[in-house]
Chain A
Amino acid sequence: MEDQLLTTVDWARAQFALTAMYHWIFVPLTLGLSFLIAFFESIYVKTGNEEWKKLTKFWMTLFGINFAIGVATGIILEFQFGTNWSNYSWMVGDIFGAPLAIEGIFAFFIEATFFAVMFFGWHRVSKGFHLFSTWMVAVGSNLSAVWILVANGWMQFPIGMNFNPDTARFEMQNFWEVALSPVAVHKFTHTTSSSFLLASLFVVGISALFLLQERHQKMAKRSMVVAAVFGFIASIFVAFTGDEAAFSVAQRQPMKLAAMEGLYVGQEKAPIIAMGIINSSKKPGDDLPAFYQEVKIPGLLSLLANRDPNSFVPGINDLVFGNAERNIVGAEQRMVTGKIALAELARYKYAKDKGDDTESAAALSIFDQHKGDLGYGYLNNPAEAAPPVATTFYSFHIMVVLGTLFPVIFLLVLYFAYKGTLEYQRWLNLACFFSIFLGYVASQAGWVVAEVGRQPWAIQGLLPVGVATTNIAASNVQTTFFMFLTLFTALLIAEIRIMMKQIKIGPEA
Chain B
Amino acid sequence: MTTLPKRLYFFYRDGFRSMVLGKTLWKIIAIKLFIMFAVLKLFFFPNHLASNFNTEQERAGHVLENITRPAPDR
A480 to B48, CA, bound (A): 15
User: Is the beta-carbon distance between B68 and A342 smaller than 8 angstroms?
Assistant: yes
Interface of B is mostly: helix
User: Is the beta-carbon distance between A467 and B74 smaller than 8 angstroms?
Assistant: yes
User: Is the beta-carbon distance between A91 and B63 smaller than 8 angstroms?
Assistant: yes
A466 to B71, CA, bound (A): 10
Contacts of A487 in B (CB 8 A): 32, 35
A204 to B50, CA, bound (A): 48
Contacts of A167 in B (CB 8 A): 56, 60
A69 to B36, CA, bound (A): 13
Nearest residue (CB) in A for B69 is A346
Per-residue CB proximity of B13-27 to A under 8 Å, as 1/0?
A: 011101011101110
- A116 interface neighbour in B12, B40, B46, B61, Cβ under 8 Å: B12
- A472 interface neighbour in B15, B26, B48, Cβ under 8 Å: B48
User: Is the beta-carbon distance between B64 and A168 smaller than 8 angstroms?
Assistant: yes
- A467 interface neighbour in B46, B66, B72, Cβ under 8 Å: B66
User: Is the beta-carbon distance between A116 and B32 smaller than 8 angstroms?
Assistant: no
CB of A110, distance to nearest CB on chain B (Å): 16
Contacts of A64 in B (CB 8 A): 21-22, 25
| Given the contacts A168-B67, A471-B66, A483 and B74 also touching, CB distance less than 8 Å | no
- B36 interface neighbour in A2, A76, A168, A378, Cβ under 8 Å: A76
Interface residue? A429 (CB, 8 A): no
User: Is the beta-carbon distance between B64 and A72 smaller than 8 angstroms?
Assistant: no
Nearest residue (CB) in B for A502 is B21
Interface range, A side: 35 or more
User: Is the beta-carbon distance between A483 and B44 smaller than 8 angstroms?
Assistant: yes
- B45 interface neighbour in A1, A82, A342, A466, Cβ under 8 Å: A82
Contacts of B22 in A (CB 8 A): 64, 119
Nearest residue (CB) in A for B25 is A68
| Given the contacts A168-B67, A467-B66, A2 and B72 also touching, CB distance less than 8 Å | yes
Per-residue CB proximity of B30-42 to A under 8 Å, as 1/0?
A: 0011011000110
Interface residue? A80 (CB, 8 A): yes
Interface residue? A470 (CB, 8 A): yes
A87 to B66, CA, bound (A): 8
Interface residue? A165 (CB, 8 A): yes
Contacts of A274 in B (CB 8 A): none
| Given the contacts A72-B36, A380-B71, A467-B74, A120 and B64 also touching, CB distance less than 8 Å | no
| Given the contacts A79-B41, A82-B45, A120 and B15 also touching, CB distance less than 8 Å | yes
Interface residue? A419 (CB, 8 A): no
Nearest residue (CB) in B for A466 is B74
User: Is the beta-carbon distance between B67 and A76 smaller than 8 angstroms?
Assistant: no
Nearest residue (CB) in A for B26 is A68
Interface residue? A500 (CB, 8 A): no
* 16 A-B contacts (beta carbon < 8 Å): A61-B21, A64-B22, A65-B25, A79-B41, A82-B47, A83-B45, A83-B47, A119-B22, A121-B11, A168-B63, A169-B60, A349-B65, A479-B44, A480-B40, A480-B44, A491-B28
Nearest 10 Cβ contacts at the A-B interface: A120-B15, A82-B47, A68-B25, A346-B68, A86-B48, A79-B45, A168-B64, A168-B63, A83-B45, A90-B63
Known: A64-B22, A466-B74; 15 extra A-B contacts, CB below 8 A, are A2-B72, A69-B25, A72-B32, A79-B45, A82-B48, A86-B48, A86-B49, A86-B63, A87-B63, A91-B67, A116-B12, A116-B15, A345-B67, A345-B68, A502-B21
